[in-house]
């Protein structure tokens, strides 16, 4: 009973808020991709909570869900990764396998991400990311 009161009504040791946004690449909506938020543990914590993922719609918009399928993201700071893999071209052989996939989003926004965001307790519908493919 004491544990339940410490964890709050939701039974979670972390707060969750709704998060949605828009992703563009070089000024155009990024369609067919995935946005991933991974919470960053505070200095006094070893478990920041689960990550969240959202699929990009054709207009570049997304809505996050926790790994268990419930809506939102953990309140606090997150590392953000954005992926959008497409086939480079038609299959080279007469098989059902497509051409070699290619990541359209530069590594600095996914595998070697520089992106961070703070998820407020009230949530946000403006977690927008304007990405560029220009090399710095």
What are 95-119's pLDDT values in tens digits? 555 556 789 999 999 999 999 999 9
pLDDT at 91 over 60: no
At 88 the pLDDT is 57
Q: What's the structural domain count of the chain? A: 1
Dihedral sign from CA coordinates of 33, 134, 81, 19 = negative
Least confident of 13-17, 58-62, 89-93, 95-99: 89-93
**Is 136 inside any structural domain?**
no
Average confidence (pLDDT) over 17-40: 96
11: number of Cβ within 10 Å: 8
**Is 1 inside any structural domain?**
no
Name the residue range of residue 76's domain: 24-131
**Is 42 inside any structural domain?**
yes
At 100 the pLDDT is 63
Instruction: Please tell me the distance from the alpha carbon of residue 32 to that of residue 85, in angstroms, as a whole number.
Output: 8
pLDDT at 134 over 80: no
**Is 5 inside any structural domain?**
no
**Is 3 inside any structural domain?**
no
Name the pTM for this structure. 0.80
**pLDDT class of 8 with cuts at 50, 70, 90:** very low
In 3D space, the residue among 43, 120, 122, 40 whose CA is nearest the CA of residue 81 turns out to be 40
At 98 the pLDDT is 55
**Is 6 inside any structural domain?**
no
In 3D space, the residue among 49, 55, 57, 38 whose CA is nearest the CA of residue 117 turns out to be 38
At 84 the pLDDT is 94
């Amino acid at each position: 009973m004491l544990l339940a009161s410490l964890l709050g009504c939701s039974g979670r040791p972390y707060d969750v808020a709704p998060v949605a946004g828009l992703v563009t690449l070089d000024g155009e909506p990024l369609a067919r991709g995935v946005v991933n938020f991974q919470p960053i543990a505070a200095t006094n914590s070893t478990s920041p909570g689960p990550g969240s993922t959202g699929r990009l719609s054709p207009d570049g918009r997304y809505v996050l869900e926790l790994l268990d399928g419930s809506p939102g993201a953990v309140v606090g700071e997150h590392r953000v990764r954005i992926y959008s893999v497409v086939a480079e071209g038609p299959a080279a052989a007469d098989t059902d396998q497509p051409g070699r996939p290619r990541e359209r989003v530069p590594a600095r926004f996914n595998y070697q991400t520089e992106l961070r965001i703070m998820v407020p307790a009230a949530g946000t519908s403006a977690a927008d990311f304007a990405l560029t493919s220009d090399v710095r």
